[in-house]
Structure 1
Amino acid sequence: MNRNHNEPMADVRDMYMAHAAMRREFGLLPQLVRDVAPGDTRRAEVVGAHADLMCLILHTHHEGEDLLLWPRLMERGGAEAAAIVPTMEAQHHAIEAAHAQVVALLPAFRTTARGGEALAAALDTLHAALIEHMDLEEREILPLAEKHVTAAEWKGLGEHGMRHAPKKVLPLAFGIAMYEGDPEVVKAVLAEAPLPARLIMPILAPRLYAAHAKRVHGTATPPRGTAPVR
């Protein structure tokens, strides 16, 4: 595929922001589930709905990579891409299997507040697979993307997630990401959004996440994830 080599290339900082959110929320979820008292269906619904939201965010995020990122890297990245992309794809399959197990267990947990240990164990498995994948992606894939994917193509990854997630969850999802996000990265992500979104989202999204976190985590400021050293 021919490209104009004067095109700006991908600014991958938003991926670190997305990963930080997933490290945090999926890291906290197993204990949240274990702390639900058997039969406490109100609390199970709060925790289960949060798990369902995070699973949706994860699925759309990885679907975008499968469709839009791996093929471009394989086409353009030569031996470097050929050495790592198949591992990324295999890890996605493992993550999807763990994700499917979580999603299968969630409905009964949300309605009965039972089966929490099986769900928590499935979330432990998913979290471990995610951490391994994201750490490797940050070391090996993001430097390749900076060299071989244009800024416009990279933007398409985010647009895929927005198209395939219910519109009503997008402000909260952005707040989840913003919680540990660099303000400059947040500004860059919003730079090409419509003016109302650029003005409203930096105010609305953190407020939505603070209220959501208070319900889910018992605090508007849950513990931050531990990101690998860049």
Structure 2
Amino acid sequence: MADIRDMFMAHTMLRREFSLLPQLVRGVAAGDTRRAAVVGEHAELLCNILHRHHEGEDLELWPRLHERAGAAAEAIVATMEAQHHAIEEAHAEVVGLLPGWRSTAQGGTELADALERLRVALIEHMAMEETEILPLAEKYVTAAEWKKLGEHGMASTPKKDVPLAVGMVMYEGDREVVNEVLADAPLPIRLLMPIIGRRRYAAHARRVHGTATPPRIGAGTR
């Protein structure tokens, strides 16, 4: 059945990066378009990752739990779907504000407030998903079906962004779980992706956070 450890690892990355984002935006001086472009690109990457992550759950996870878990899933899956709608609304607000801020470095307070609303909704959702949904997934979703969640995200991620996305997850991730996620990949990818991903995230973090080792959030790992 499903090995859900990779979801905890992905959630840890999302908690960390979305928790740091509002202050990153607030730290950009009005008119500093060079810095706004760097932070804005990072925010856009995270928003895209989040959208694909939830899209995969909508397509691959909720229908299976509705079908198989019966009364145990009925209320909580409905809650998850409602939370996804609320997160998508907050996400759409952020995505709508990002282009103007990136190009002008004006309106940072409004964008940071929108990011904070997105962060709060996302963290509440992930905490409930971890306690209520993932135990059901372990019981009712097969390993092959679970892998389709990750495959959906990877299939819709631009190839140039894949090593960075892997590195972002690996930063606080369990190497054993990373190896399991990559187990079906060709040997060169299994060997090289962890190395390349780690280097790509370190370089990205230095540019965005000012350090290759931004604060670890630690929660949500398993």
TM range (shorter): over 0.9
Alignment partner for residue 48 of structure 2, among 26, 46, 56? 56
Deviation at 1:225, TM superposition (A): 1.4
Structural mapping, 1:1-230, within 5 Å: 9-228=1-220
CA distance in 2, matches of 1:36, 1:129: 24
Identical counterparts, % of pairs: 72
Q: Which whole-Å deviations, capped at 9, do the CAs of 1:54-97 have from their partners, x for residues lacking one?
A: 00000000000001100000000011111200000000000000
AA aligned opposite 2:200: L
After superposition, what is the alpha-carbon deviation per residue over 1:102-140, rounded to whole angstroms, capped at 9, x for unaligned?
000000111101110000000000000000000000000
Measure how far apart 1:144 and its partner are. 0.2
TM-score (norm 2): 0.98
Query: Are the counterparts in 2 of residues 55 and 103 from structure 1 also a CA contact under 8 Å?
Result: yes
Structure 2 counterpart of 1:3: none
Number of residue equivalences:
222
- Give the 3 Å change call, closer, same or farther, for CA 185–70 of structure 1 in structure 2: same
Provide TM-score, normalisation by structure 1.
0.95
Unaligned runs of at least 5 residues, structure 2: none
What residue identity is the alignment partner of 1:200?
A: L
Q: Is the 8 A contact 2:9 2:220 kept in 1?
A: no
Instruction: Write the distance in 2 (CA, Å) between the matches of 1:96 and 1:202.
Output: 31
Contact 1:61–1:161 at 8 Å: present in 2 too? yes
Measured after TM superposition, the shift of residue 14 of structure 1 is 0.3
TM-aligned CA distance change 1:82 to 1:164, over 3 Å: same
- What is the RMSD of the two structures over their aligned residues, measured on CA atoms? 0.9
CA distance in 1, matches of 2:218, 2:178: 19
Which runs of structure 1 show a deviation greater than 6 angstroms over 4 or more consecutive aligned residues?
Answer: none
Return 5+ residue gaps in structure 1 as ranges.
1-8
Deviation at 1:154, TM superposition (A): 0.3
